Chains A and B, each alone.
Chain A
Amino acid sequence: MAKERKLHSLRVMNMHIPYHIIMIIWSFISMFPVWILIINTFKIRKEIYTNPFGLPKVWTLQNYKSLLANANFFVYFRNSFLVVVVSLFMILFLGSLCAYALAHWRTRFSGGVYFFFVLGMMLPIKIATIRLLQIMKNLGLMNSLFSLYPVYIAMGLPTAVFILTEFIHGLPTELYEAGFMDGAGRFRIYYNIVLPLIRPALATVAIYNLVPIWNDLWFPLIFITKEDQKTVLLAVTMLQGQYSTDWPKLLTILAMSALPVITLYLLMSKQFVKGLTAGAVKG
């Protein structure tokens, strides 16, 4: 009898009711604004005041339609995609080449180069803005996506070099030895052996950089004023002024701008969590 009661209490204990209560409360706090964001994009303008929290009484797709009818909308998205894709490709390519070298070439000099990169992980690139602005002006890159690529590439490289060097260093050397004995050059080894092996680390680096680049406002705000070079987030600030009284429309833009990253996150949440917290993983 006593044993049974004990088992029963253990089962109750393992249900962790107080913990669930805490987590449910916070999940609600986390999701409530997201709910507001999504649900109000399907309402007509007046309803968001009379019925702010509930499902729409009259569903409408008008907000989405009018947004998609705006030709510039696609331009902003194309620009944001371009910025993310080009920057990520360069970060991964240059970062993995450099990490490949730093993982094998172990001298005091290469150690110094590695340390120099790691130092950059700790300092925000915004500190360099004043000088970067001049550099972009001097290079004639203002008002062009080409002012954004180099900044994002430079910003992403320290973490890329750090994560990839540690990862390559952890690979068993037999893999290269075999390749090297067979007469493959160092670049062949990089391309045919190393790159396929470091794919998980490349994914981590990609995600670590993807979210901040897509969500960056600071550099587009400073470098770009031309309509056809604006990124989505920069366009949002402008439309915010234009539609300041038309909240459903504004919320629709906000939701659309967040949609690509959230969708990716929901599809691969494990890699996202790993990627976004990668900065603190000490090798």
Chain B
Amino acid sequence: MTAKTNKIRAFQGGASIKPGGVYWMRYVIPALAFYVVFMAYPMIDSVRLSLYSGTAGTREFVGLANYVRLFTDEVVSKRFWNAFGNNWVFFAWHMLLQNALGILFAAILTNRTMRGRQFYQTLIFIPCTIAVLVTGYLFKLMMNPVWAGTTLKAAGLGFLVRPWLGDRSTALTCVSLVSVWQWVGIPTMMFVAAFQGIDDDLIEAASIEGATPWQQFTLIRIPLIVPVIGMVAIMTFVSNFNAFDVVFSMETLDGAPDYTTDLIGTLFYRYGIAGQHPVGIPEPGVGAAISTSIFFMLLCGVIPVLRTTQGKE
């Protein structure tokens, strides 16, 4: 008996790193190496690069100069704060519309007595499997007033014929709504899983006590899925700063018209990788400063939300 448990303990590596530890390291190291070399290290080293100017051959330490430029320079900071603000508008649409629709659809789709739930779920999720680039180009065509203009006017829907993507006042809203349209399936499915995880007895007890369906929804089901709402909020927040393809395909790299759809993603690409339009020389230092700012902002956003929502479990 003891021999057996000893053997099992030997398998698990015991309490110390040796000898099991050395053995297990062989399994861990290949994955760890890829993760460190191509993700963790480049992420952290980008922070260092933000303190340098110039490219590989001509790199020079400049301290915080890139940040000073980014936040205060007349030209650069204007672009940065503009993109930053647009990103918040983009985020607000996702948070308020996409996630609200997600909760609504999930509440509907978890009704046991409703038919066709599987069918609706399958349809809602289809756009999530298509590349953002593809839906972006598709909507670019659909929002083009030339395309269906005559047909729509003939049908008395002339008010739909507008240069939606060329108009400063509507461009960012349209880009955001296309993204909401595409991704609504993800929060929906997460909330479906969350609602399904709620103990039936709770709902039953509440309905016996005379709680209306609305009360059951707001007072029992919603509070119980707060951790999932927190997770979805984090994911929305993170992916928001990841957005690039949707602007690239529907508008331009410059966030046309007149930078109204410029997001951090496109700004980062222009400054850090492609180079600004007329000059075309990339400034990796400024690019790294942009990504570092986002890095710390994501950490600041992710950690408190994780703490408050996940701590309750």
Which residues from chain A sit less than 8 Å from chain B, CB to CB? 14, 16, 19-20, 22-23, 26-27, 29-31, 33-34, 36-37, 48-53, 90, 94-95, 97-98, 100-102, 104-107, 109-110, 113, 116-117, 120, 122-135, 137, 150-151, 153-155, 157-158, 161, 173, 176-177, 180-181, 186, 190, 211, 214-215, 217-218, 222, 233, 236-237, 240, 247, 250-251, 254, 257-258, 261-262, 265-266, 269, 272-273, 276-277, 279-282
For this complex, 11 residue pairs linking A to B, each with C-beta atoms less than 8 Å apart, are A23-B120, A30-B124, A49-B146, A101-B25, A127-B291, A130-B287, A131-B45, A186-B11, A247-B147, A257-B134, A258-B131
Docked Cα-Cα span, A125 to B12, in Å, equals 33
Q: What per-residue 1/0 map shows which CB atoms of B191-226 lie under 8 Å from chain A?
A: 001000000000000000000000000000000000
Taking a contact as CB atoms closer than 8 A, the residue among B42, B148, B265 that contacts A132 in the complex is: B42
The reply to whether A131 and B49 contact each other, CB–CB distance below 8 Å, is yes
Instruction: Decide yes or no: A97 and B31 within 8 Å by CB, A48-B147, A104-B24 being known contacts.
Output: yes
Closest A residue by C-beta to B25: A101
Within B157-201, the residues touching A (CB, 8 Å) are 181, 186, 189-190, 193
Closest B residue by C-beta to A49: B147
The reply to whether A280 and B273 contact each other, CB–CB distance below 8 Å, is no
Instruction: Decide yes or no: A135 and B38 within 8 Å by CB, A16-B111, A26-B124, A97-B27 being known contacts.
Output: yes
Taking a contact as CB atoms closer than 8 A, the residue among A16, A29, A30, A277 that contacts B190 in the complex is: A277
Which residues from chain B sit less than 8 Å from chain A, CB to CB? 4, 7-8, 11-13, 15-17, 20-21, 23-25, 27-28, 30-32, 34-35, 37-43, 45-46, 49, 56, 101, 104-105, 108-109, 111, 113-114, 116, 120-135, 137-139, 141-142, 146-148, 150-151, 181, 186, 189-190, 193, 227-228, 231-232, 234-235, 238-239, 241-242, 244-245, 248-249, 265, 268, 272-273, 284, 287-288, 291-292, 294-295, 298, 302, 310, 313
* Chain B hits for A104, CB < 8 A: 11-13, 24
Docked Cα-Cα span, A101 to B28, in Å, equals 7
The reply to whether A154 and B34 contact each other, CB–CB distance below 8 Å, is yes
Docked Cα-Cα span, A20 to B45, in Å, equals 52
Q: Chain B binding site: helix, strand, loop or mixed by DSSP?
A: helix
Closest B residue by C-beta to A254: B134
* Chain A hits for B135, CB < 8 A: 33
* Chain A hits for B228, CB < 8 A: 280
Docked Cα-Cα span, A31 to B127, in Å, equals 8
The reply to whether A150 and B248 contact each other, CB–CB distance below 8 Å, is no
A140 CB to closest chain B CB (Å) equals 13
Taking a contact as CB atoms closer than 8 A, the residue among B35, B46, B288 that contacts A157 in the complex is: B35
* Chain B hits for A132, CB < 8 A: 38, 42
Closest B residue by C-beta to A93: B30
* Chain B hits for A31, CB < 8 A: 123, 126
B234 CB to closest chain A CB (Å) equals 7
Q: Chain A binding site: helix, strand, loop or mixed by DSSP?
A: helix
Q: How many A-B residue pairs have CB under 8 A?
A: 282
Taking a contact as CB atoms closer than 8 A, the residue among B11, B49, B288, B310 that contacts A176 in the complex is: B11
Docked Cα-Cα span, A234 to B239, in Å, equals 21
The reply to whether B232 and A280 contact each other, CB–CB distance below 8 Å, is yes
The reply to whether B241 and A124 contact each other, CB–CB distance below 8 Å, is yes
Instruction: Decide yes or no: A262 and B130 within 8 Å by CB, A110-B24, A181-B7 being known contacts.
Output: yes
The reply to whether A52 and B123 contact each other, CB–CB distance below 8 Å, is no
Instruction: Decide yes or no: A120 and B46 within 8 Å by CB, A150-B34, A282-B227 being known contacts.
Output: no
The reply to whether B130 and A122 contact each other, CB–CB distance below 8 Å, is no
Taking a contact as CB atoms closer than 8 A, the residue among A122, A158, A173 that contacts B238 in the complex is: A122
The reply to whether A130 and B291 contact each other, CB–CB distance below 8 Å, is yes
Output the residue of B8, B11, B35, B101 with the most chain A CB within 10 A: B35
The reply to whether A113 and B126 contact each other, CB–CB distance below 8 Å, is no
Closest B residue by C-beta to A135: B42
A177 CB to closest chain B CB (Å) equals 6
* Chain B hits for A151, CB < 8 A: 38
The reply to whether B27 and A100 contact each other, CB–CB distance below 8 Å, is yes
The 6 closest A-B pairs by CB, nearest first: A128-B42, A101-B27, A131-B42, A154-B38, A98-B31, A215-B131
* Chain A hits for B284, CB < 8 A: 130, 133-134
Docked Cα-Cα span, A118 to B115, in Å, equals 39
Taking a contact as CB atoms closer than 8 A, the residue among B122, B186, B238 that contacts A276 in the complex is: B186
The reply to whether B127 and A34 contact each other, CB–CB distance below 8 Å, is yes
